[in-house]
Structure 1
Amino acid sequence: MSSSLHDRAVEELGRRIISGELPAGSAVLATDLATELGVSRSVIREAVRVLQSLGLVESVRRLGIRVLAEDHWRVLDPQLIAWRLSGTGRGAQLRSLTELRRSVEPAAAELAARHAPDAVAERLLQIAARMRSIGRAGDLESFQDLDIQFHALVLGASGNEMFAAMSGMIGAVLRGRTRLGLMPKHPHEDALQLHIDVAVAIQGRDPERARAAMDAIMSRTLAEVEHIWAEEPRTARTPLPGTLG
């Protein structure tokens, strides 16, 4: 099976579902999809397995492939995040992710100052210094890669596996911001210094300073992008059956 055909089928179907072109509750036959996309039924079957793992569809006997409602989606999956940031609901998606980051990352920095191995603390300082150099040079792609490494390392250094598992999600958010043109060509000097401040506080075993510096980073991030979702309404979500404690 060609991986490119498989990837194309996953991408096409995923984007259709996220955009609402294939709305929740609608159903489609694998044979029809195979014909439309010009691929084999085995490619469609594999693509459907991927989409099932993301909570986007389910296979229903005698009905075909049924699209599931948003309540079923694995909303922290990086692929799903990338699709949503590319769609019409990008504002609401960016708001949710930014608010989540603002809640989690300062706590992760505080924990990292308590628990990070010395080698990891040193690596954070090296990355922060490199970010300042690259940011001043205006190499946005390299800066993005370093920024993703920095935040993933802080999450992992917290010693909390739940925080560490969010690194892929945050990487998807940062890549999405760059792709959407929401990152300045030259990051602000204050933002560059704050990353160094986080690293210095973690290396110096100062949890309060680490939390404060990361909170300042998140506050700057919020201020830079909140205009994107200014007109986006919030929607209350009802927990799925069986999820209440």
Structure 2
Amino acid sequence: MELQGLHGQVVDRIGRSLAAEEIRAGQVLRLEDVQERYGVSRTVAREAVRVLESKRVVTSRPRVGITVRPLAEWNLYDPQIIRWRLASPAREAQLRELAELRAAVEPSAAALAASGAAPEARAALAGHARAMADAARAGDRGAFVAADAAFHRALLTASGNGMFAQLAEVTEELLVARRELALMPPDLDMAAVDRHREVAEAVAEGRPADAAQAVVRIVDAAHDEVERLLHGGGPCAYRR
């Protein structure tokens, strides 16, 4: 859930500084430093620190202060932390990690969905694939990304594995980031739609191996796109 209000703005500003290593691991801040740096009251500063503690980004101890934790200790699945890293010089590492996570999880989720998803879950996948096709034909990037994110959320949920389902927000951050970071090309690729349709059909027809392989094709295309971006190539047709 997006944080609202002044303390939410402070959390976001501090988080972006942390992700960019403008404030480094091991550095100790005082509450007064937060107040002065961001021009807020002690109450707002304390609430912002509390939120950062909940994300495991900092620890706060009496007579010690606010200590920045190493990146490895952060809650790296937190959508806001993902956004901070995608907006930072660590964007390349975050893109790779997200792509590798998808490759490890989504094929298994597809196989599980094909083995036991409820009829309404199978129908939802087909509906999201149709929405992707409609958006691609209309050239509507926003609608395309929304339908793509909904498809993968539905797939992870249809697996019946609650832990997989909770990774939907992580996948969604990657998909949305492509649009927000201007990583999408002018034209949307219908081949991406066809790959999603293949997944939906395999799930609907109860073909676990085919569903997993179809997702592998989606994830491989995504991985190739990320690697091109990381090595300085321009984005090609949107192939998720």
Q: Which runs of 5+ in 2 are unaligned?
A: 233-240
Q: Distance in 1 between matches of 2:82 and 2:4?
A: 21
Match of 2:235 in 1: none
Residue-by-residue CA offset, 1:38-75 (whole Å, 9 max, x unaligned): 21111111111111111110002212111111121111
Task: Please say if 1:12 is aligned against 2:9.
Answer: no
Measured after TM superposition, the shift of residue 212 of structure 1 is 1.1
SS at match of 1:65: strand
Partner of 1:113: 114
Q: CA separation in 1, counterparts of 2:10 and 2:156? A: 33
Q: Match of 1:168?
A: 169
Q: Does 1:156 align with 2:140?
A: no
Per-residue CA deviations over 1:125-170 (Å, capped at 9, x if unaligned) read 0110110110121111111111111001000000111111100111
User: Which deviates the most, 35-44 or 153-162?
Assistant: 35-44
Q: Can you list the C-alpha shifts for 1:4-41, whole angstroms capped at 9, x where unaligned?
A: 21111101111111111110111111122112212111
Aligned amino acid, residue 223 of structure 1:
D
The amino acid across from 1:218 in the alignment is V
**Equivalent residues of 1:92, 1:229 under 8 A apart:** no
Q: How does 1:178-189 map to 2 (within 5 A)?
A: 178-189=179-190
Alignment of 1:43-192 (within 5 A): 43-192=44-193
Cα distance, 1:150–1:32 mapped onto 2, change above 3 Å = same
Secondary structure at the residue paired with 2:182? Answer: coil
TM-score by length of 2: 0.92
Q: CA deviation at 1:219?
A: 0.8
Q: Distance in 2 between matches of 1:101 and 1:80?
A: 17
Counterpart in 2 of 1:235? none
CA contact (8 A) 1:117 1:157 kept: yes
Q: Which residue of 1 aligns with 2:195?
A: 194
SS at match of 1:58: strand
Identical-pair percentage: 40
Distance 2:26 2:224 in 1: 37
Farther-moved stretch of structure 1 (178-187 vs 192-201): 178-187
1:218-237 to structure 2, matched below 5 A, reads 218-230=219-231
> Cα RMSD (Å) of the superposition?
1.5
Q: 1:200 to 1:15 in 2, by over 3 A?
A: same
Q: How many residues align?
A: 230
Question: How far, CA to CA, are the matches of 1:209 and 1:150 in structure 2?
Answer: 17
Partners in 2 of 1:157 and 1:170 — Cα distance? 15
| Residue identity in the other structure for 2:36 | T
Could you tell me which amino acid in structure 1 is paired with residue 65 of structure 2?
Answer: G
Structure 1 counterpart SS, 2:5: helix
Q: Secondary structure at the match of 1:163?
A: helix
**Partner residue of 2:216?**
215
Q: Following the alignment from structure 1 to structure 2, what is the Cα–Cα distance between the partners of residues 22 and 212? A: 43
Q: Contact conserved, 1:177 with 1:183, CA < 8 A, in 2? A: yes
Moved over 4 A (4+): none
CA 3–159 in structure 1, closer or farther in 2 if over 3 Å, else same? closer
